[in-house]
A and B are shown apart, each in its own frame.
Chain A
Amino acid sequence: MSLMPYAFGGLTAVVLVGSIFAASSQNLVRSVLWLGAALIGTAGLFALLNAPFLAGIQLSLYTGGIITLMLFGVMLTDREHAVTRQNPSLNPLGALLVAGTFFALLASAIMNTELPMHMGDFNGSTQAVGLNLLQEHLLAFEALSFLLLAAMVGAIVLARRRDAE
């Protein structure tokens, strides 16, 4: 008996529930936390898809890093607890319409396309990922490190306190 369908179904539920609540919660902190739940679910899905390295990265970078960062951001910009309480919606119907149209579009594209069904052996190991990264995409790798450095420096410059103004 394969556990695959159940695992898939369960993780799907986690991701979807987390996403829906993240999108609709009126409380900003709760919204961010629900996002975290969705990200964890996605990490599980990565694992199901024979991508262990990515699952690990997703857990550490995304849930660990970004959620933390967002919570920091929320806290730092909270004035008299106003923000943490308020996460008002802006025209939910219009947004629903647009998102719904988009989903309909994508879904029809997916259902009407010939998709490969290769479910056999797949080596998604870290070693494979690493080899591919450093052999095929070395230049992009180097550029990415440069980009990360720039983002770091940029964020610091942007957000530092300007004492001598």
Chain B
Amino acid sequence: MSALNLACVAVFLPVCVAGILWVIPALRTRGRIGAFLSVLAALASTASALILFGMQRAAPNTVILDAQARWLTREGRSMADVGFYLDGVSTSMLVVVCVVALLVQIFSLGYMADEPPAAFGRYFTYHSLFLFSMAGLVVAPNLLQLFMCWELVGLASYLLIGFYFKKPSAARAAVKAFWVTKFADMGLLLGIIILYAQTGSFSWGPEAVATLTASGAATAVGLLLFLAIMGKSAQFPLHLWLPDAMEGPTPVSALLHAATMVAAGVYLGVRAMPVFAASDQTLWVMAHIGGFTALFAACVAVVQTDIKKVLAYSTCSQLGYMVAALGTGEIVGAYFHLTTHAYFKALLFLAAGSVIHGVHSNQLQDMGGLFGKMKITAITFIIGALALAGFPGTAGFFSKDLILEQLLHAELFFPYACGMTAAFLTAFYMGRVVFLAFFGPPSEAAQEAHESGFPMTIPLVLLAALSLGIGFFGTQLAGLYGAEYHFHLSPTGIVASALGFLGIGLAWMAFGRRPGMNLSAFQPIGNIIRYGATDRIFKAVYERIILGASAVLSWIDRYLIDGLMNWSAYITVVGGRELRGSQTGRIMDYVYFLVFGLLVLSASGWIGQ
């Protein structure tokens, strides 16, 4: 099996399944068959990805596959190619995507089992579509294919967020997500167009970047592409859609909105880093927005009562870390954290899903004391929480530490401070969730909870193992794409870990002993920068600016353009009515006209002499 064959299997098998399920409703509406096919495709993709990963490990820091097919030609040369580009970065990301997708699909077999068969089949069709889109994005050799898969991923996200489309809030959330990311994608499109106009290709290679810098458009392109990242990876102020996206089923939240889709923005940053690094202003903007988002989202996460919303804001915050790391110009930190975050955030979401499945509610106050009843879920969730908080030894510790060190080294002090504060808050709010959900007196709903079945627990265990173990392979992972990384204990690491312990301890004090602490200290912050305020701003912008612009345009259309049409019709009618007067019907008049015409012709002929 050559690398090309494996890559084809990994990327195309899921879309074939999605296509089959779409075209043959019988397979889809039967439910379980569709799910089986989809899981099988995911399994094949994962296996191919792992084999490719092995091939990459055998040949680190090389491109193991660069196969492209000409798609558009222009003047004999190629204008756009599509194909596979597998190097250290894309191979390991492919593994992440496929593994998480597979585990989420297996988890869904248990979680979505209560759905009617037709919806069950539809769910897995969308999952396969998503896997194809994300894989295509990861292996994209140039910005054009990346853009196409980016949009496809957005489509899959829309379909999956609005899976319960009969629920108005879910439908609205799907549209909102689509709206905000589409706005951001404008930036991607414009950036790609400017890049192509200046460099004549869609690639992000060093030659293209040199041309771009020479032409002076590097900052513009960088900022435009960053706009797309802000939308996709939910950075302030385009983060609004992510909490609403929790309307989708929890496995979808795990896959799309924690591990992979929102990571696509960071992946773009990693891939096209030469383009961003060409402009110092872009990097500065990235670092500061990322840092601010990390802090802001962490603050908001503290006051959430819905467990999924806590995790959503947490994702937002962690993405802020990655974006800030990208702002240093180095990809190691961001990419490492991307990988580790994928595993432990997926784990947290799936475990939360297990809890939600058990108590039939998202709200923290309906939980409590679940440690005894759902041992596996509880333990894996705690492992994930520790990884997120950066507990020493977990994967999250290594990657977060690396980011903070990079920020300090690049002398980006504001993002660094934000990152440190956010580390404290992260530990605090995760501790809060753990203590409220798994310890303390149970609510009535929690009394009847029981552990979930195998399809749900096995992925939890696997992800927990990954969350613990991946951190130790940091050096090897970095070596795959030629970066240096060695862990060494530094003051940053010590301070960050101390903050983490502080956060956990504070949470235990607040929630472990007396559940339901009055968070009045956080209320002012919460009120000022609450989700509600930003949502109101969004609504105001939407109503005033967008609807206002539409009103102006529709006025122009109705009165000016239509008016022009109506006026010309009016002129025609009036002119016809008046000119009709010349048709008297009297012969002598016609004779006159005839002669007159003759006269004019003769005269003109004579004058023309």
Contact = CB atoms under 8 A, between A and B. Distances in A.
Contacts of A108: 606
A102 B588 contact: no
A105 B588 contact: no
Contacts of B595: 98, 102
B596 A105 contact: no
Interface string B583-599: 00000100010011011
Contacts of A60: none
A102 B606 contact: no
A159 interface: no
B601 to A, nearest CB: 11
B602 interface: yes
Contacts, number: 18
Contacts of A106: 602
A102 B596 contact: no
B588 A90 contact: yes
A43 to B, nearest CB: 27
B605 to A, nearest CB: 9
A98 B588 contact: no
Contact of B599 (A90, A94, A105): A105
A155 to B, nearest CB: 19
A98 B595 CA distance: 8
A106 B606 CA distance: 9
Nearest to A113: B609
Nearest to B605: A109
Kindly state the interface size class of chain B when it binds its partner: under 10
A101 B592 CA distance: 14
B603 interface: yes
Contacts of A102: 595, 598-599, 602
Contacts of B588: 90
A109 B606 CA distance: 7
A120 B603 CA distance: 34
B606 A101 contact: no
B599 A98 contact: yes
B590 to A, nearest CB: 13
Nearest to A112: B609
Interface string A97-140: 01001100110110000000000000000000000000000000
A92 to B, nearest CB: 12
B608 to A, nearest CB: 12
Contacts of A98: 592, 595-596, 599
Nearest to B602: A105
Contacts of A109: 606
Contacts of B598: 102
A115 to B, nearest CB: 15
A90 B599 CA distance: 20
Contacts of B606: 105, 108-109
12 contacts: A90-B588, A94-B592, A98-B595, A98-B596, A102-B595, A102-B598, A102-B599, A105-B599, A105-B603, A105-B606, A108-B606, A109-B606
Among all A-B residue pairs, the 9 with the closest Cβ atoms? A105-B602, A98-B595, A90-B588, A109-B606, A102-B599, A105-B606, A105-B603, A101-B599, A98-B599
